[in-house]
Structure 1
Amino acid sequence: MRVFLSATSLLSTYGGPAYSVSRLATALGEAGVEVGLWSSDDSVGVNPAIMEADQVRPLRGSAASALRSFGDVDVIHDNGIWLPHNHRLASIASERRVPRVVSTRGMLEPWAMNHKRNKKRIAWALYQRRDLATAQWLHTTGENERATVEEFRLGAPVAVIPNGVELPPRGQTAGRLAAPREFRTALFIGRIYPVKGLPMLIEAWARVRPIGWRLRIAGPDEGGHRAVVERAVLAAGLGSTVSFLDYLGDDARGSHLLGADLFILPSHSESFGLAVAEALAHSLPVLTTRQAPWGVLEDYRCGWWVNATVEGVAGGLRLATSAGTEELAEMGARGRELVAARFRWQEVAKQFIALYERL
C-alpha cells in the first residue's frame, strides 16, 4: 500500500498535529506501508526522525510536484482544512480518482469556527463544504469531534481513531515518591494561545492559591498572548508561584513532565489533547476540561474532567492539590496503564491501515 500523507507543518512549534502526523508516518512505515510525507511549509526536510525512517519518503515542493515525484498512490490522507493546499489536494484527488481521507483536526469545532469567522463562511461556501463532502472518509480523534462533524451533514462517513503516544521507561517516574520537596509542581505544556484557556487557569489558581504548589507554563507564544497571561499573573499577585518557560524540546519536555506532580490543560476546545496523553504516559495525573475528549480520566481514576469555567477549574484544582503524594502517584500509574492499553502507535497504525483498505 502506498499513502500520500500531508500536513500544514511538521515543525515542533506548530503543536500536536506536527508530532502526530510525523509519528503516524513512521508507524505506518514500520507496519509495511510506503509513505510519502509532505508538508505545505517544506518542513519535512528538517525532521530528523523522518529523514532516517525506512518506508517513509520525505517529499518537497508543491503538492502536485510531490505527488508526481512519489508516483501512483492508493490513498491521499490530508490533515487539516481551510488552507489553499488542502483545497488543491482535494482537486488533485478528484482529478486522479484517488481516494481521500481528511483528518479535520478540530477545525470544525465551535471555537475554531468562530475564529476568523467571516473568512471561514466565505471559504465554506466557495469550496470547503464541497471538499469535505467529496472525501471518501473523514477522520476525527475523538467521539465528541465526530458528533460535531456529523452535525454538518456532509454525507461522508466519519472514522474515530485516536492519536498515539510513546511510553517512557517505567522506572523514570519513581522520583516523585522521593523525599519531600519545598514545592509540588503543576505543569501546562502547549501553545500559549487563547484557545488553551490560560487566563481562566490563572483566575482559578488565584481563587484556590494552593499552599505548597507552584504553576509552570511552558510553550511557544502565539500572537503575543503570553503577555496577556503574564499581566493576569501580575494582577492576581501570583508572580512568586507562577513562572513561564519557552518552547521545550523533546528532552526538556520529558524532564519537566517527570519532575511535575500534576498536568493541567484548561482548554476551551481540543479535538484530542495530545499533551494529556503524553502526561499520562509519564505517569502524571491530569486536570483538563470537558472541552477535551478525556472523560476516560474519570473511568480510569487518573485525573479530573471539569467544566471549562473558572469555577470548574478551581474546583478541580482544590481536589488535585489536596491529594497526597502517594494518591497522585497511584493516579499517574493508572494513567500510564490507560495509555498502554489504548494509545500505542502500533495499534493506531493498524486502525488507519484498516481504514485505508476499506477505500
Structure 2
Amino acid sequence: MKFAHYYPGAAGEHSGVVAAIAQWTHAMLDAAEQVVVLHHGAPPEPARYGAAELRQVRDIGRGRPTRVPVGLDKALHDVDVLVLHEAWFTANLVAARAARRAGVPYVVVPHGVFEPTWIGYLRQPRRLRRALEASVLRGAAAAHVWFPAEAEHVRRIEPATRCVIAPPGFDVPAERWRPGGDYLAWYGRYAVRNKGIDMLLYALSTLPAACRPRLRMHGVDYEGGLAYTKGLVDALGLGDWVRVSGPIRGADKRDFVLGSAGFVHPSRWDCIPIAVAENLALGVPCLVSDRINLAPALSAERAALVTELDTDMLAAGLIELSERGAELSGRGREFVTNHLSWRDIVPHYLDQIEDVIGVGAR
C-alpha cells in the first residue's frame, strides 16, 4: 500500500504529532510499504521522514485557523490511503473533501484531541466545530486511535465511526538506566495546563526542603508556557531546586534521562505520551498521572508509578519514585517489549487498514 500523511505542520518545528508521523513513516517503510509525506512550504529536514517521498502542496491562508491546502487531490493520484492528523482546524476539512474528490479513502488520527478535557479548551463556536468534525469522521474509512479509551472519545463526536486501534511502537535500546542520578527529569512542551507543569511545581513546593528532589526541565515553548514556568518557579521559591531550560534532543536528551533518578509526566490528559514510552524503553523509572490513556495498563503491570493528579498524592509520588527506581526500571522495559513492539503492532495495524479500505482497493 501507499500511504500519504497530511498535517499542516509536517515540515515545521518538532512536536508530538510530527514525532508520531515520523515514527509511523519509518515503521511503514521498514515493512516495505510506500509512504508519501505531504507538506506545505520548504521541505522538512532530510532525516525526519527517512526515505519517504516528499510532496509539496500549495496552501493559502494565514496561520492554523485559516491555512488550507490547494490542489491536494492532484497529489493523491497514486495513493491508496490518506492519513489526516489531529483535528479542529480547517485544513483537514478541505483535505477530506479533496480525498473524496480523488476517490481515495482517508483515515483520521486524532492524537487525543477528542478527549473531553481537551475539547473543553476549544474556542467557540464549539457546537459548529463539533458538527464539522463529525462530518469529517462520517466520510472517513476509520479513525486510527491508539487505545480503546480513545475510540470512545471519537464516537462521542460521531457514533458510527469505525476505529483502527494500534499504538505507536518503540524499540528497546541496548542502553539502559542505572541508579545513581540526583535529579528528576522532565521534557516536552511547556503547555502548562495540559502537561500538568503547574501541579508538578506546586507538589514540589509542599515538600520539606530537606527531602525535596531536584528537577531539571527541558522543552519547547508553547503559548508563553516557558516564561510562565520560570515565573512560577520563582514565585514558589523553587529556584534552588528547579532548572527550566529550552529544548533537548538526540544524544543529549538520552544522556539527560539516563543520568536522572527518574522521569516525571503529570499530564492532565495525553493520548500516548511519547516521552513516557521512550523512557520506559530505556528503563528510566517513570511517574505518570492517572489521566493518560496508558495509565491503566502501566498500573496493572506495575511498570510505572501512577498517581492521582492531586498535589499531595503527586508530592508523595515524587519521593516514592526515587525509592522504587530499580524495581520500576526492569518492568518498564518489559512493558515496552510486550505491548509496544513494532514487530507486533505493524502487522495488526496493516490488517485493520486493509479491512477498512478493502484489500486491493486501488
TM-score by length of 2: 0.87
Could you report, residue by residue, the CA deviation over 1:92-134 in whole angstroms, capped at 9, with x for unpaired residues? Answer: 1222232111011111112221223304433333x22211122
Q: Which contiguous aligned blocks of 4+ residues in structure 1 show a shift greater than 6 angstroms? A: none
Give, in whole Å, the separation in 2 of the partners of 1:159 and 1:69: 25
Does structure 2 conserve the Cα–Cα contact (< 8 Å) formed by 1:80 and 1:105?
Answer: yes
The equivalences for 1:272-287 within 5 A come to 272-287=272-287
User: How many Å separate the matches in 2 of 1:11 and 1:341?
Assistant: 33
**Residue 173 of structure 1 corresponds to which residue in structure 2?**
176
* Paired position in structure 2 for 1:20: 20
Q: Which residue of 2 aligns with 1:84?
A: 90
Alignment of 1:181-220 (within 5 A): 184-193=182-191, 194-209=193-208, 211=211, 213-220=213-220
Give the superposition deviation at 1:277. 0.3
Q: Deviations over 1:289-333 (max 9, x none)?
A: 111012222222222112222233123223223x1xxx4123112
Q: Quote the offset at 1:37 in angstroms.
A: 1.1
Task: Tell me the CA shift for residue 47 of structure 1.
Answer: 3.8
Which of residues 82, 98, 101 is equivalent to 1:95? Answer: 101
Structure 1 equivalent of residue 116 of structure 2: 110
Does the 8 A contact of 1:24 with 1:345 survive in 2? no
**Farther-moved stretch of structure 1 (308-317 vs 195-204):** 308-317
Report the AA paired with residue 121 of structure 1.
R
Inter-partner Cα distance in structure 1 for 2:117 and 2:236: 27
Secondary structure at the aligned position of 1:32 is classed as: coil
CA drift at 1:148: 1.8
Distance verdict in 2 for CA 1:254–1:65, change over 3 Å: farther
Q: CA deviation at 1:70?
A: 5.5
**Structure 1 residues 218 and 81, CA gap change in structure 2 (3 angstroms):** same
**Partner Cα distance (1:90, 1:285) in 2:** 41
The one-character-per-residue Cα deviations of 1:191-222 (angstroms, maximum 9, x if unpaired) are: 00121110110011111246273111110111
Q: Which residue of 2 aligns with 1:247?
A: 247
The answer (yes or no) to whether the contact 2:268–2:291 under 8 Å persists in 1 is yes
Contact 1:285 1:335 in 2 (8 A): yes
How far apart, CA to CA, are the structure 2 residues paired with 1:132 and 1:44? 29
Aligned counterparts of 1:114 and 1:26: Cα–Cα separation in 2: 34
> SS of the counterpart of 1:35?
strand
Q: Secondary structure at the match of 1:46?
A: coil
Gaps of 5+ in 1: none
Aligned counterpart for 1:58 among listed residues 45, 49, 54: 54
CA RMSD of aligned residues (A): 2.2
Q: Does 1:29 align with 2:29?
A: yes
Q: Structure 1 residue 46: deviation in Å?
A: 1.9
In structure 2, relative to structure 1, the CA distance for the partners of 1:197 and 1:12 (3 Å cut) is farther
Structure 1 distance, partners of 2:156, 2:252, is 40
C-alpha spacing 1:72/1:11, structure 2 compared with 1 (3 Å): closer
Q: Does 1:48 align with 2:51?
A: no
1:106 counterpart SS class: coil
Helix, strand or coil at the partner of 2:173: coil
Match status 1:222 vs 2:222: yes
Quote the Cα distance in structure 2 between the aligned partners of 1:261 and 1:135: 44
Task: State the Cα distance separating 1:32 from its structure 2 match.
Answer: 1.6
| Runs of 5+ consecutive residues of structure 2 not aligned to the other structure | 59-68, 358-362
Distance 1:6 1:349 in 2: 20
CA contact (8 A) 1:59 1:70 kept: no
Q: Distance in 2 between matches of 1:12 and 1:337?
A: 34
TM-score normalised by the chain length of structure 1: 0.88
**Aligned counterpart, 2:232:** 232
Residue in 1 that maps onto 2:318: 317
Contact 1:8-1:80 at 8 Å conserved across structures: no
Shift of 1:153: 3.9
Q: Which residue of 1 aligns with 2:271?
A: 271
* C-alpha distance after superposition, 1:27-60 (max 9, x if no partner): 1112121111123x4465324242x42xx21111
SS of 2:214 mapped into structure 1: strand
Return the offset for 1:8: 3.2
Deviations 1:206-260 (Å, cap 9, x if unpaired)?
Answer: 1124627311111011111122222221222211111012111222111111111
> Any conservation in 2 of the 1:302–1:331 contact (CA below 8 Å)?
yes
Q: Offset of 1:142 from its aligned partner?
A: 1.9
